[in-house]
A and B are shown apart, each in its own frame.
Chain A
Amino acid sequence: MRMHIHPTRTAVAAVLALAVSGCSLVGTGDDESASDPAGGGDEAGGTVVLVTHDSFYLPEELVADFERESGYDLEQRAGGDAGALTSQLVLNTDSPIGDVAFGVDNTFGSRALEADVFEPTDLETPAGVEENALPGDDEGALVAVDTGNVCVNVDTTWFAERDLDAPETLDDLTDPAYEGLFVTPGATTSSPGFAFLLTTIAAYGDDWQDYWEDLLDNDAKVVKGWEDAYQVDFTQGGGKGDRPVVTSYDSSPAFTVDGEGGTTTRALLDTCYEQVEYAGVLRGADNPEGARAVVEWLVSPAVQEALPSSMYVYPAVEGTELPAEWADLTERPSDPWSVDPDEIDANRDEWLQEWNELVSR
């Protein structure tokens, strides 16, 4: 082994290292940190910090438009999934992690309200927002931004090939004719999984455990996350699994296009649980004015129209136009299942524990 160091090589390495650090984040100091929130020069209203779950995304042009028109700099920060986001907000009530939050939904909303995370926004909201308000939110602290439904989806081509009628209802899923065909993400480990558990609780009340026993007897498969259920086990998912029935969303059929203007999947409209996602001004925000402006922006026509293609959800505001393929390929349930938020809050831990016992038996 050569043990002698070559001074030239060391020099080259050092120069290289310096050159490489030139393309680092810290080295260049990107624009956002350059327009430091504390530093002056932002007389138009300063920075407003928007905390979201990690599926949040809106096109850059929209954000730029907002910043130009309102005079605020929008700083975005992700905080895990809807559950993690809510937990973080609750943990930080005394020193909020931002000015405004988006992504708390109706299954977690009551927890946030109880902890007094949000303060009333007092905004004139467009039609549709009020209708989707969280029951029990009398002050109007949470503003509905989008809606969606967790529904059982079926692979229509699979059933057509076998000349078999696809299941339609929750009861059908326990029918021996559909044995071994259903896969669902777990309620303790995924939010659509929890929504599906709530569907069965809404539908069967105190008998929900019996229903789950039948479901498991019918060889339903429970996996951890939506990704596992849809992408691995579902026949129309990326992995081409072998189960043609899966818990997913009412918007999912818009993504399983067959190339001839149709879709290969369908949501079962009798098995849906409604999810509404909210935005709200955080109590104790540094920039409450900016926060209100963000909430107002989120229910503005521009953002509402962008929601389906950027976050795969439906706009909450009535009369918002949907992308063509959504209008053609998806159907929405007229009367989805729901459970009262207070009841969820009171029973969540117990339900999850009982459910966990059932499926890990």
Chain B
Amino acid sequence: MERAGQPLMTTPRRLLGLVALAGLPLAVLGVFFVLPVSGMVARGFVTDGDLDVGGVLEVLTRARTGRVLWFTVWSSAVATVLAVVLGLPAAYALHRLRWPGRRAVRAALLVPFVLPTVVVGVAFRQLLGESGPVVALTGGRVDLDGTAAGIVAGLVFFNVAVVIRGVGAAWEGLDARPGEAAAALGASPAQVFRTVTWPMLRPAVVSSASVVFLFCATAFGVVLTLGGLRYSSVETEIYLLTTELLDLQAAAALSVLQLVAVVALLVVAGRLRAVPDPTLARSTARPHRPRRSDVPQLVATALLLVLVAAPVATLVVGSLRVDGAWSLAYYRALGGGAELQALPVPVTGALVTSLRTAVDATWMALLLGGLIAVVLTRRSRSRSERRVRSVLDGLFMLPLGVSAVTLGFGFFITLDSPPLDLRESPVLVPLAQALVAMPLVVRTLVPVLAGVDDRQRQAAASLGAGPLRAMATADLPVVWRPLLAASGFAFAISLGEFGATSFLARPSDPTLPVLIFRLIGRPGELSYGTALAASVVLAATTAVVVLAVERLRVPSLGAF
């Protein structure tokens, strides 16, 4: 009965085990995140060898800093609310209802999330601009180009998928019976939602909303392209201050501010998200056929689909129109050609690089995210252990809240001396992308692993299974689909990642988003059209990956 004594293991030993499991992810996070970011921030705080906190504080009192901060908070908050309002009905229609084509629609709605922002920004501007269809159709009454509303629309476009995924997964796992019972007792659908469904759904909504807010507050390409010049967010301001003005003090001040805000947000979200016992709330209801009362949700989903499809359609149509006629010329140019000789590789070559990089980023994100998820979901036996876990939880979400510029510059100033001279390593790009995808992997796996009753592992252990074997018997059957789903998600994110990649990729070996950016950065219709065609290919590849994941019928994907 020695093994049965395992659960009674002393707290220090358990803590040690926890740290051992967390060791690899912690080391990676330390070297590739904490070190570069703190290196950059330190540069800002130290002037001529002396710590200059006053100078940093002065930056925070500048009028412009206030404006930038206010705009960031305001636009992110509005975009988050809109994403939730638009995403909730769609989450319901796509996860609780059964109708033909819903998997395809789910996949389609995730595509924007991984498109390169620069291209979407340009497509968005084309859609909303002076000569675009929106202005034409509304007789100029709706002119969002260069307005705050335009930015918010862009942010919603990119992030509504997060809400659909996160809330949809939770909704799928809700027990339908309490609601049905309430309805049988005469509650109206609105009453059922308010009194039964909402309390159970709230943690998932809060969780998704906090991630959306994070993404919005740190969005770079969207604000840069859609914002005109009136608007700047903390993220674009850090970029401007670092690259153009070399005002490191101000950049560091804003970076710290951003980090503090993100930590605060994570703490608040963690509190709101907390569910007493996740094992209790889980069961899988079969989606049902739409009823008459589901019509509003279906209509709302259709509307959302139109909103998301419009910019994508602009891309597709643009890629197929040559000199006012339909043509596949831009797609033929993807394989290279005399006119596009100034590209280091043809688009197809960049796609291969992207796919290969994504494979690496995916396994790295899975390895790191998987370890963290395991660490986070073991039952805590003491208060200190729980505290360690919650700190770790927050720590691994941090990469979501730091500017790519800060990270990119940080890489170059901190990883520069021999034991850690990694500036030339081909591992940098996939690793940076893995860091971006990792929090989402963690958020996908944690709810599933948390749902595994610890008693199953104990039972396996008491029957003589070692820790690994116990995990394989108790966890693997539940977690393998979400694991595959998370890999699809990480793969898709890596395919579209632009910010960090543009800093770290070798010029002779660009990924597809980097190459698209170069194409769009030169005059001539052929380059522009080819950039659009390449974006369509990127979007289609992503959609295929996501659709494959959908085929796995993973019950809970992306429950952040």
Binding site for B on A (CB under 8 A): 1, 3-5, 10, 13, 17, 20-21, 23-27, 30, 32-33, 37, 49, 52, 54-57, 59-60, 63, 75-81, 83-84, 87-88, 90-92, 95, 97, 111, 186, 188-189, 222-228, 230-233, 237-243, 248-249, 252, 255-257, 309-312, 348-349, 352, 356, 359-360
Contacts and interface: CB of A to CB of B under 8 A. Distances in A.
B246 A90 contact: yes
30 contacts: A5-B476, A10-B480, A21-B359, A21-B363, A25-B353, A25-B426, A32-B426, A33-B425, A37-B424, A54-B502, A55-B521, A76-B506, A76-B507, A79-B503, A80-B502, A81-B243, A87-B246, A95-B416, A222-B229, A223-B229, A224-B228, A228-B121, A241-B131, A255-B522, A257-B524, A310-B342, A312-B522, A348-B245, A349-B247, A356-B229
B55 interface: no
A97 B507 contact: no
Contacts of A188: 229, 240, 244
B246 A111 contact: yes
Interface stretch (B5-13, B122-130, B193-201, B254-262): B122-130
B358 to A, nearest CB: 9
Interface residues of B, number: 76
A192 to B, nearest CB: 11
| Most chain A Cβ neighbours within 10 Å, of B125, B146, B416, B425 | B125
A75 B421 CA distance: 15
Given A56-B507, A81-B243, A87-B246, A224 B555 contact: no
B525 interface: yes
Contacts of B240: 188-189
Contacts, number: 204
A164 B228 CA distance: 29
Contacts of A17: 363
Interface string B350-372: 00010111011001000000000
Contacts of B508: 57, 60, 63, 76
B191 interface: no
Contact of A312 (B230, B342, B412): B342
Interface in B494-513: 502-503, 505-508
Interface string B387-421: 00000000000000000010011001100110000
Contacts of B555: 1
A108 to B, nearest CB: 9
B488 interface: no
A241 B224 contact: no
A-B complex: 7 closest residue pairs judged by Cβ atoms: A238-B528, A255-B524, A84-B243, A24-B359, A255-B523, A5-B477, A242-B131
A54 B523 contact: no
Contacts of A230: 523
A96 B377 CA distance: 44
Given A227-B118, A239-B122, A233 B424 contact: no
Contacts of A88: 409, 412
Interface in B234-274: 240, 242-248
| Most chain B Cβ neighbours within 10 Å, of A23, A26, A33, A80 | A26
Nearest to B43: A91
B409 A77 contact: no
A106 B227 CA distance: 28
Contacts of B230: 360
A57 B343 contact: yes
B529 A238 contact: yes
A214 B416 CA distance: 49
A54 B225 CA distance: 19
Interface of B: 43, 118, 121-122, 125-126, 129-131, 146, 224-225, 227-230, 240, 242-248, 284, 318, 341-344, 353, 355-357, 359-360, 363, 405, 408-409, 412-413, 416-417, 423-427, 430, 476-478, 480, 484, 502-503, 505-508, 514, 518, 520-525, 527-529, 531-532, 553, 555
Nearest to B228: A223
A160 B79 CA distance: 45
B423 A77 contact: yes
A24 B360 contact: yes
A232 B424 contact: no
B539 to A, nearest CB: 18
Contacts of B521: 55, 226-227
A3 B448 CA distance: 13
A111 B243 CA distance: 12
B284 A233 contact: no
Contacts of A243: 130
B523 A23 contact: no
A249 B524 CA distance: 12
A56 B342 CA distance: 10
Contact of A78 (B248, B430, B506, B524): B506
A44 B528 CA distance: 42
Given A25-B356, A54-B507, A349-B245, A233 B342 contact: no
B36 to A, nearest CB: 12
Contacts of B528: 231, 237-239
Contacts of B532: 238
Given A87-B243, A255-B524, A26 B229 contact: no
A189 B359 contact: no
Contacts of B243: 80-81, 83-84, 87
A54 B508 CA distance: 10
B424 A77 contact: yes
Contacts of A49: 424
B125 A228 contact: yes
Contacts of B227: 224
Contact of A30 (B426, B514, B524, B527): B426
A348 B513 CA distance: 32
Contacts of B125: 223, 228, 232, 239
A90 B412 CA distance: 11
Contacts of A248: 523
B523 A256 contact: yes
Contacts of A233: 129-130
Given A88-B409, A238-B520, 15 more contacts: A25-B426, A54-B514, A77-B424, A84-B242, A91-B248, A91-B413, A189-B240, A223-B229, A226-B521, A230-B523, A237-B523, A238-B532, A252-B523, A310-B342, A311-B342
A231 B146 contact: no
B359 A23 contact: yes
B524 A256 contact: yes
A97 B342 CA distance: 26
Contacts of A232: 122, 125-126, 129
B557 to A, nearest CB: 14
A90 B425 CA distance: 22
B176 to A, nearest CB: 14
A266 B518 CA distance: 23
Given A20-B359, A21-B359, A242-B131, A5 B480 contact: yes
B416 A97 contact: yes
| Most chain B Cβ neighbours within 10 Å, of A32, A57, A188, A356 | A57
A360 B230 CA distance: 5
